């Protein structure tokens, strides 16, 4: 059996508009200057408090916990407002359909989102039940700690060499490799190709329609 683990934000769904909007509200309510958009998108994928710490340059006096609370509150509000949703990236539904139909593949998620956040995304897109293991910031240390991948492998009984993580950031690549798993970087998310390559991506994919083929090539026995 093979295990294909997906990151969520920047890999399955394009959440940048709602993330930037929630960050803007959180920093405004804390009366702090919002960091540049590139900095905000650069921390997507980390758990919330860890993400805020990085935005505060690891300054111990930076109110990371309070900002995380303000962000959660803003995100909850935004979800109820029209116009804020997290669309699937082009081709992603086709990838999930193809992989779900395979008897040799299990699907999972490893994300800095909460269980509640993942459930909202999957429900919105009619993807409930596709993923046999969902690892989140609620249950494990922030990426790039390998715990989410290790827990997903333990939950499914799949070995590291048969596990591949698909993600858009260096945090994903480092996490996967630290767990002994394979790593594929997708270039439609929030970190540049070079960052993905340098952090351990074995392959880079820029078109979702080619992803299943790349996964299969990766698992072909070396002649
Ligand atoms: Mg991501």
User: Quick check: 23 and 48 in contact, CB under 8 A?
Assistant: no
Nearest to 205 by CA among 176, 197, 122: 197
CATH of the domain at 177: 3.40.50.1000
223 found inside a domain: no
Q: Tell me, yes or no, whether 21 and 117 share the same domain.
A: no
| Closest by Cα among 19, 35, 36, 22 to 70 | 22
Question: Is residue 222 over pLDDT 80?
Answer: no
Name the helix (H) or strand (E) containing 26: helix 16-29
Is the pLDDT at 223 greater than 80? The verdict is no
Are 36 and 71 within one domain?
Answer: yes
> Rounded to the nearest whole angstrom, what is the distance from the C-alpha of residue 223 to the centroid of ligand 1?
33
Q: Residue 23 in contact with residue 71, Cβ under 8 Å?
A: yes
Residue 82 pLDDT: 81
CB 49 within 8 A of CB 65: yes
The answer to whether residues 126 and 21 belong to one domain is no
**pLDDT at 81 exceeding the cut of 90:** no
Assess whether 29 and 66 both reside in one domain: yes
- Does 31 score more than 80 pLDDT? yes
Q: How far is CA 160 from the centre of its chain?
A: 19
Using the mean position of ligand 1's atoms as its centre, give its distance from the Cα of residue 158 in Å: 23
Is a pLDDT exceeding 70 seen at residue 54? yes
As a whole number, the mean pLDDT across the chain is: 95
Per-residue pLDDT tens for 134-184?
999 999 999 999 999 999 999 999 999 999 999 999 999 999 999 999 999
Query: Is there a contact between 171 and 45 (Cβ–Cβ < 8 Å)?
Result: yes
Cα 220 to middle of ligand 1, angstroms: 27
Domain total for the chain? 2
Regarding whether 66 and 97 lie in a shared domain, the answer is no
Looking at the structure, tell me whether residues 135 and 32 fall in a common domain.
Answer: no
Q: Which residues pair with 135 in a beta bridge?
A: 110
68: confidence class by pLDDT, cuts 50, 70, 90: very high
End of a domain among 40, 58, 80? 80
Q: By residue range, what is the domain housing residue 20?
A: 16-80
Residue 189 DSSP label: S
Q: 213 and 133, same structural domain? A: yes
Which residue from 44, 40, 46, 42 is spatially nearest to 23, judged by alpha carbons?
A: 40
Stated as kind and residue range, the H or E segment containing 188 is none
- Measure 150 CA to ligand 1 centroid, in angstroms: 18
Please give the positions annotated as active site: 7, 9
Question: Residue 85: pLDDT above 90?
Answer: no
- Asked whether 110 and 4 are in contact (CB, 8 A), the reply is no
Give the pLDDT mean for 39-67: 95
What count of other Cβ atoms lies within 10 Å of the Cβ of residue 152?
A: 26
Q: Are residues 74 and 106 in the same domain?
A: no
Query: Taking ligand 1, which is a single-atom ion, which protein residues have CB atoms under 5 Å away?
Result: 7, 9-10, 45, 168-169
Same domain for 190 and 207? yes
Same domain, 96 and 146: yes
Based on the domain organization, do 48 and 92 belong to the same domain? Answer: no
Quick: pLDDT tens for 94-113. 999 999 999 999 999 999 99
Q: Are 93 and 173 in the same domain?
A: yes
């Amino acid at each position: 059996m093979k295990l294909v683990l997906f990151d969520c934000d920047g890999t399955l769904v394009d959440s940048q508009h709602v993330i930037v909007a929630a960050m803007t509200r959180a920093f405004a309510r804390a009366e702090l200057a919002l960091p540049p958009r590139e900095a905000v998108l650069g921390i997507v994928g980390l758990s919330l408090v860890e993400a805020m710490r990085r935005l505060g340059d690891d300054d111990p006096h930076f109110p990371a916990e309070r900002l995380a609370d303000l962000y959660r509150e803003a995100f909850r509000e935004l979800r109820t407002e029209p116009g804020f949703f997290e669309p699937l990236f082009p081709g992603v539904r086709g990838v999930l359909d193809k992989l779900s139909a395979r008897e040799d593949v299990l699907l999972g998620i490893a994300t800095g989102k909460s269980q509640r956040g993942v459930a909202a995304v999957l429900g919105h897109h009619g993807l409930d039940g596709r993923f046999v293991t969902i690892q989140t910031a609620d249950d494990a240390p922030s990426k790039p700690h390998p715990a989410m991948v290790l827990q997903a492998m333990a939950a499914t009984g799949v070995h590291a060499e048969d596990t591949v993580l698909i993600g858009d950031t260096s945090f994903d690549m480092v996490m996967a490799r630290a767990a002994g798993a394979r790593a594929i970087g997708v270039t439609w998310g929030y970190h540049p190709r070079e960052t993905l390559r340098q952090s351990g991506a074995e392959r880079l994919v820029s078109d979702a329609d080619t992803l299943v083929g790349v996964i299969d090539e990766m698992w072909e026995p070396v002649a």
